[in-house]
């Protein structure tokens, strides 16, 4: 099918099959390798992207499900050469270690801060509960989101 959608603020037209995973479309066909594949079955959150402003898992999304939609990936949250306040905060608090879960965590946190710019620590933990991180123990991650929330107010 000829798939048209918005990707990180630009209109994209791509020839693909309707059942191609959004994750493969992004990584292999469009070269956006920031979105990671962890488990591939919706358990780990590493492939979290935003579709029409809402978090979705790219491993369980078919190409046809984003037709005409607005998709935002980790590559699209800041201007070229710049970092988003969430990215800066993850660096500042050492919320990144191996980094594999980080794009998914940042996209989930991005969705949280759009819904709720003043989350409590419990609300941050609750919202990020679908994103597994095996390095940090989450304390630095939660701190990063709270720090970014303050800076973005």
Per 3-state DSSP, the chain is made up of helix, strand and coil in percentages (nearest 5) of 40, 15, 40
Report d(CA 83, CA 78) in Å as an integer: 6
Cα 123 from Cα 130, distance rounded (Å): 13
Binding segment toward another protein, per CB under 8 A, in 11-19, 27-35, 81-89, 91-99? 11-19
Does 111 contact another protein by CB under 8 A?
A: yes
Cα–Cα distance measured from residue 111 to residue 103, given in angstroms and rounded to the nearest whole number: 12
What does each C-alpha distance from 32 to 74, 122, 123, 139 come to in angstroms?
9, 32, 30, 28
Binding another protein (rule: CB under 8 A), the pick from 38, 55, 85, 103 is: 55
Q: Which of 38, 45, 95, 119 binds another protein (CB under 8 A)?
A: 45
Residue whose structure tokens are 């988003």: 84
Q: Among residues 4, 33, 54, 91, which is the contact residue for another protein, using CB under 8 A?
A: 54
Closest CB to another protein among residues 34, 130: 130
With binding defined as CB under 8 A, does residue 73 bind another protein? no
Stretch that binds another protein, among 2-10, 56-64, 94-102, 137-145 (CB under 8 A): 56-64
Question: Which positions lie near another protein, rule CB under 8 A?
Answer: 17-19, 21, 40-43, 45, 48, 54-57, 59-62, 64-65, 67, 108, 111-112, 127, 129-131
């Amino acid at each position: 099918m000829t798939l048209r959608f918005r990707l990180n603020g630009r209109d994209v037209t791509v020839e693909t099959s309707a059942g191609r995973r959004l994750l493969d479309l992004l990584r292999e066909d469009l070269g956006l390798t920031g979105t990671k594949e962890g488990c591939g079955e919706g358990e780990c959150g590493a492939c979290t992207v935003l579709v029409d402003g809402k978090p979705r898992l790219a491993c369980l999304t078919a190409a046809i499900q984003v037709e005409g939609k607005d998709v935002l990936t980790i590559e699209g949250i800041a201007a070229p050469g710049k970092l988003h306040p969430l990215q800066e905060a993850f660096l500042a608090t050492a919320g990144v270690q191996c980094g594999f879960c980080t794009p998914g965590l940042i996209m989930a946190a991005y969705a949280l801060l759009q819904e709720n710019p003043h989350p409590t620590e419990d609300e941050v933990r609750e919202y990020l509960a679908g994103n597994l991180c095996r390095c940090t123990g989450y304390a630095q991650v939660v701190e990063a989101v709270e720090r970014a929330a303050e800076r973005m107010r």
